[in-house]
Amino acid sequence: MFYEIVGKISIALVFIFLILILISLLLGVILIKKHRFILPKLLLFVMGNFQTQVKKIAGAFGLGERIVDQTCIEVRNHLNVESFARVQAKDRILVVPQCLRNVKCPARLDSKTGIACRECGMCIIKDIKAEVERLGYGFYIVPGGRFVERIVKAVRPKAALGVACCKDLNAAMHEISRTKCVVLGVPLIHEGCVQTKVNLIELFKKMKLGVEDTAANVEKICADANIRAS
């Protein structure tokens, strides 16, 4: 009798778990396709904590694993945007991946602070760095996700804005969310190992959250940067 009850409870829990995953996937699809946030905290709880299982089921339904990373990033951005805007720029850091660099980048890697851009102008990072310095952010060009976690632990910023491919960005945002640091992310629009691309307008808009600046200024900086990048 005891084992029968335990068996029935276990089957019911597995069933509920599967239903939750399916509902989360449905909400994820609605979010990505229609940009509508329905039950965002539940969505993040399920997708954030059971990523392996959700990704397997997403794959079985032909949705691809990427939808899980995209959904988690979007939901975290949605939930954290106001808290991020309340943090002063001097207490924020921006972390970008080394793959944004030009393949001929002359900068060297420092084991503690990442890659030190020499502002040669061969890639978009020169423009990002100029804007970061103008606003007062801390700035790091990093070779990988583990490096980001080390920097957050060492610098202890109140807020962090990260740029990376969907998978790495979601993983880093998940880890940073365990600390007191408020995290936002901007996924790369062109992923890969070298010369990747980020949407500068989206990045600069997020950098300027809560910081007084005009929209015209954002567009001018982006226009100048795009010209230099081409």
Smaller CB distance to ligand SF4: residue 11 or 194? 194
Which of 46, 105, 164, 166 forms a contact with ligand SF4 (CB under 6 A)? 105
Please report how close the Cβ of residue 225 comes to ligand SF4 at its closest, in angstroms.
11
Which of 106, 146, 156, 190 forms a contact with ligand SF4 (CB under 6 A)? 106
Smaller CB distance to ligand SF4: residue 7 or 106? 106
Query: Which residues, in sequence order, are bridge partners of residue 93?
Result: 138, 160
228 sits near ligand SF4 (criterion: CB under 6 A): no
160 sits near ligand SF4 (criterion: CB under 6 A): no
119 sits near ligand SF4 (criterion: CB under 6 A): yes
Please report how close the Cβ of residue 154 comes to ligand SF4 at its closest, in angstroms.
21
107 sits near ligand SF4 (criterion: CB under 6 A): yes
SS (H, E, C) 68-121: HHHHHHHHHHHHHHHHHHHCCHHHEEEEEEHHHCCCCCCCCEECCCEECCCCCC
Which of 46, 117, 171, 176 forms a contact with ligand SF4 (CB under 6 A)? 117
Query: Which residues, in sequence order, are bridge partners of residue 139?
Result: 94
Q: How many CB atoms lie within 10 A of CB 127?
A: 21
**Is residue 94 classed as helix, strand or coil in its secondary structure?**
strand
* E strand map for 41-197: 92-97, 109-110, 114-115, 138-142, 159-164, 182-187
- Considering only the stretches 17-25, 47-55, 84-92, 103-111, report the one whose residues sit in contact with ligand SF4 under the rule CB under 6 A: 103-111
Torsion-angle region of residue 223: left (phi > 0), alpha (psi -120 to 50) or beta?
Answer: alpha
Quick one: tokens of 49?
């904590």
Please report how close the Cβ of residue 105 comes to ligand SF4 at its closest, in angstroms.
3
Contacts of 81 (CB under 8 A, 6+ apart): 184, 209
Please report how close the Cβ of residue 123 comes to ligand SF4 at its closest, in angstroms.
3
- Considering only the stretches 32-40, 79-87, 123-131, 187-195, report the one whose residues sit in contact with ligand SF4 under the rule CB under 6 A: 123-131
**Is residue 114 classed as helix, strand or coil in its secondary structure?**
strand
Binding site for ligand SF4 (CB under 6 A): 101-102, 105-107, 117-123, 125-126
